[in-house]
Amino acid sequence: MKILAALILAAALFAAPQSGPRSQIQNMVDKLDVTPDQKAKLDPILDIDAKQVRALRADSTLSDEDRQKKTGAIRAETDTKIKPILTAEQWTKLQELRAERKAQGKGGAKKKK
């Protein structure tokens, strides 16, 4: 019975949507009301960004400082690719969403003291 419960739990976790870098960025982009054409251009860029960030997070040889620097470089590169795709209003809104998220803390929830 315990094995069955473990298998069911594992299947549920495997089927659950990932809440990794892709979904965080995608959630912000989804709030920008992008056109289907913009979405088609943005999705591959965001997929590459997410894969690169996941690889950094999985690399246990990196210090937190190195990981942050490399993540920042990836984000800057992604920004240079997505900015021309977005309208000025969408870009401004994306920056506002990022600022809100940063103010709330990682994960989007306010940090408890």
pTM of the model: 0.68
d(CA 93, CA 33): 10
pLDDT one digit per residue (tens) for the chain, 113 residues: 656 444 454 444 444 444 555 557 777 888 899 999 999 999 999 989 889 988 998 999 999 999 999 999 999 999 999 999 999 999 999 999 989 888 887 655 554 44
d(CA 75, CA 80): 9
